[in-house]
Amino acid sequence: MRDPGKKKFYLIATDLRIESGCGWEKAQYEGSRDLIVWESEDLVHWSEERACTVGIPEAGCVWAPEAVYDSGKEEFLVFWASMVKAPADEEAKQRIYASWTKDFRQFSEPFVYMEREQHVIDSTIVENQGRYYRFTKDETNKCIILEESESLTGTFRQIPSETLSGLLGVEGPECYLLPDGNTWCLIVDQFAEEKGYLPVFTKDLGSGVLEIAQEGSYDLGTTKKRHGGVLVLEDEEYERLERYFDREYPVIEGLYADPDLISVNGPRMVLRTGPDRSSPYFPQTMERNSPVRLRCWILRRDRYRGRSEVPGHHVWLRKTENFTSISAEREKTEFPVSEPQLRNTRRDRSLQCRSRC
Q: Does residue 153 sit in the same domain as residue 284? A: no
75 with 53: CB under 8 angstroms?
no
What does the pLDDT read at residue 306?
Answer: 36
Is 238 inside any structural domain? no
Domain final position from 181, 205, 232 = 232
Q: Does residue 137 sit in the same domain as residue 220? A: yes
What does the pLDDT read at residue 248?
Answer: 53
Q: Does residue 250 sit in the same domain as residue 324? A: yes
Q: Could you tell me the CA-to-CA distances from 263 to 14, 43, 175, 292 in Å, in that order?
A: 43, 33, 49, 15
Q: Does residue 203 sit in the same domain as residue 272? A: no
Residue 236 has pLDDT above 70, yes or no: yes
Q: Does residue 205 sit in the same domain as residue 58? A: yes
CATH number for 203:
2.115.10.20
Domain final position from 176, 209, 232 = 232
Is 310 inside any structural domain? yes
What does the pLDDT read at residue 292?
Answer: 39
Whole-angstrom distance, CA of residue 309 vs CA of residue 357: 14
Residue 298 has pLDDT above 50, yes or no: no
Q: Does residue 171 sit in the same domain as residue 269? A: no
pLDDT average, residue stretch 234-262: 64
| Beta strand residue intervals within 102-194, DSSP E | 111-114, 120-128, 131-138, 143-149, 157-158, 171-177, 184-189
Whole-angstrom distance, CA of residue 255 vs CA of residue 327: 9
Q: Does residue 130 sit in the same domain as residue 33? A: yes
Whole-angstrom distance, CA of residue 60 vs CA of residue 92: 9
Is 295 inside any structural domain? yes
Is 58 inside any structural domain? yes
pLDDT category, 275, cuts 50, 70, 90? very low
Q: Which of 38-52, 176-190, 196-210, 293-307 has the lowest mean pLDDT?
A: 293-307
What does the pLDDT read at residue 313?
Answer: 32
pLDDT average, residue stretch 333-348: 33
Whole-angstrom distance, CA of residue 196 vs CA of residue 190: 5
pLDDT average, residue stretch 224-240: 91
What does the pLDDT read at residue 190?
Answer: 97
Domain final position from 232, 266, 295 = 232
Is 117 inside any structural domain? yes
Whole-angstrom distance, CA of residue 77 vs CA of residue 149: 15
> Number of C-alpha atoms within 13 angstroms, CB side, residue 104?
28
What does the pLDDT read at residue 242?
Answer: 80
Q: Does residue 227 sit in the same domain as residue 265? A: no
Q: Which of 39-53, 111-125, 228-242, 296-310 has the lowest mean pLDDT?
A: 296-310
Residue 103 has pLDDT above 90, yes or no: yes
Beta carbons within 8 Å of 122's beta carbon, 6+ residues apart: 63, 64, 81, 136, 137, 171, 172, 173, 227
Q: Does residue 223 sit in the same domain as residue 262? A: no
Question: Does this model's pTM top 0.75?
Answer: no
Residue among 287, 279, 327, 335 at smallest CA distance from 303:
327
pLDDT category, 244, cuts 50, 70, 90? confident
As a whole number, the mean pLDDT across the chain is 77
| More confident of the two residues 35 and 272 | 35
Quote the percentage of the chain above a pLDDT of 70: 69
Total number of domains in the chain? 2
| More confident of the two residues 32 and 281 | 32
Residue among 236, 256, 337, 269 at smallest CA distance from 303:
256
The torsion region of residue 225 among left (phi > 0), alpha (psi -120 to 50) and beta comes to: beta
What does the pLDDT read at residue 120?
Answer: 97
| More confident of the two residues 241 and 210 | 210
Residue 75 has pLDDT above 80, yes or no: yes
Is 241 inside any structural domain? no
52 with 37: CB under 8 angstroms?
yes
Is 29 inside any structural domain? yes
Q: Does residue 195 sit in the same domain as residue 137? A: yes
Residue 286 has pLDDT above 60, yes or no: no
Domain that holds residue 25: 2-232
Is 101 inside any structural domain? yes
Q: Does residue 144 sit in the same domain as residue 199? A: yes
What does the pLDDT read at residue 222?
Answer: 85
Residue type, 30: E
Q: Does residue 340 sit in the same domain as residue 191? A: no
Residue type, 251: V
Alpha-helical regions (H) of the chain:
23-29, 162-166, 235-245, 347-353
